[in-house]
Amino acid sequence: MKILSLFDWMACWYEALQRAWIPIDKYYASEIDKYAIQIATKNHPDIIEIWDVCEIKWEDYQDIDLLIWGSPCQWFSVAGKMLNFNDPRSKLFFEYVRLLRQIQPKYFLLENVKMKKEWQDIISRELWVEPIEINSSLVSAQNRRRLYWTNIPWVTQPKDKWILLKDILDKNVDEKYYLTERQIEMIRNWKWFEKPLDRVKWFNDKSDTLTTHCWKFSNWIKLVNDGKWVRRFTPNECDALQTLNKWYSEWVWDTQRWVMLGNWWTVDVIAHIFRSIQQWWHTEN
């Protein structure tokens, strides 16, 4: 199968394809972030990097079987400023539409956040399909509700694996990930946080949606049994929350890892969707 991945980030689509036992003949990755490219090529050296999505000429990719996309979503999200299609990054959606119509692949998959119905309807109208909502909590220790637009047949909800935070936490955590008493006191005095400090997650619960910012509460955890109170998730734990193998993103600084993993999608959800391709693909080929 020949794949074109737009806004590829760390090539986690590739991971999902492998888990779904989808044969990969060629994997073209459109990405401009140097840290994401570094991680992608370290894990999958056979990826063909093609840089900026706006410069892709569809004539070069007429034999693509699967077109996948996960462009910047912060401006559709309630966690962002919700500027929707007026934001330059969200307008990149129409680059996907352009290539989808020109290339006409056998299958396509688009992922994005929960958003206002009016914006969701714009995407559905352009793609001629309604989205499927799946919460990553079914296959991971993270609550992450996302919408998936696809023409892949027979996509269902994944079975609940009953994974909790306690199942993925590191046993030995470096002191640098813990908040100091002074930092905790400062947080208590901040009025504009999304939620109070006492709602930071307990050690055996599900994580909130990972964000691109390591200081937000969704990237912190309250540990009551290890002598400390609050710490950040380690990057390895964030890998696990997105159902990647721990250390998948280890070749860059922690800050870059947090940003990329907050922007990413849950690999086992994508693998679940791709498994619906498998029967059809083997039948046709």
* pLDDT for residue 74 is more than 70: no
Query: Which runs of consecutive H residues, i.e. helices, occur in the chain?
Result: 12-19, 34-43, 93-103, 117-127, 181-189, 235-241, 254-263, 267-284
The closest alpha carbon to 156, from 182, 142, 138, belongs to: 138
* pLDDT for residue 10 is more than 70: yes
Measured distance CA(17)–CA(53) in Å, rounded: 21
Map out the domains of the chain as residue ranges: 2-152+265-284, 165-241
Measured distance CA(94)–CA(108) in Å, rounded: 14
- How confident is the model at residue 162, as a pLDDT? 95
- Mean pLDDT along residues 223-252: 83
Split at pLDDT 50, 70, 90, the class of 12 is: very high
Which of 26-35, 90-99, 216-225 is least confident? Answer: 216-225
Q: Nearest 5°: CA angle at 216, between 213 and 222?
A: 130
CB atoms within 10 A of CB 191: 4
> What helix, strand, coil percent values describe the chain, rounded to 5?
40, 15, 45
Asked whether 84 and 78 are in contact (CB, 8 A), the reply is no
- How confident is the model at residue 225, as a pLDDT? 47
The closest alpha carbon to 52, from 73, 66, 37, belongs to: 37
Measured distance CA(55)–CA(203) in Å, rounded: 46
Taking CB atoms within 8 Å and a gap of at least 24, the contacts of 16-20 are 16/267, 16/268, 16/270, 16/271, 16/273, 16/274, 17/271, 17/274, 19/267, 19/268, 19/271, 19/274, 20/271, 20/272, 20/274, 20/275, 20/277, 20/278
For 238-278, the pLDDT digits (tens) are: 999 999 999 999 999 998 998 889 888 899 999 999 999 97
pTM, full prediction: 0.87
* pLDDT for residue 83 is more than 50: no
- How confident is the model at residue 122, as a pLDDT? 87
Which superfamily does 2-152+265-284 belong to? Answer: Vaccinia Virus protein VP39 (3.40.50.150)
- How confident is the model at residue 201, as a pLDDT? 54
Measured distance CA(45)–CA(177) in Å, rounded: 31
* pLDDT for residue 224 is more than 70: no
- How confident is the model at residue 222, as a pLDDT? 59
* pLDDT for residue 18 is more than 60: yes
For 182-192, the pLDDT digits (tens) are: 877 776 666 54
Query: Is the model more confident about 64 or about 115?
Result: 64
Task: Write the DSSP string, 96-144.
Answer: HHHHHHHH--SEEEEEEE---HHHHHHHHHHHTS--EEEEGGGTSSB--
The residues, any chain, with a CB within 8 Å of residue 12's CB and separated by 6 or more, are 242, 244, 264, 265, 267, 270
Mean pLDDT of the chain: 84
Angle between helices 34-43 and 254-263 (to 10 degrees): 80
- Mean pLDDT along residues 193-219: 64
Percentage of residues in the chain having pLDDT higher than 70? 78
Residue type at 109 in one-letter notation: L
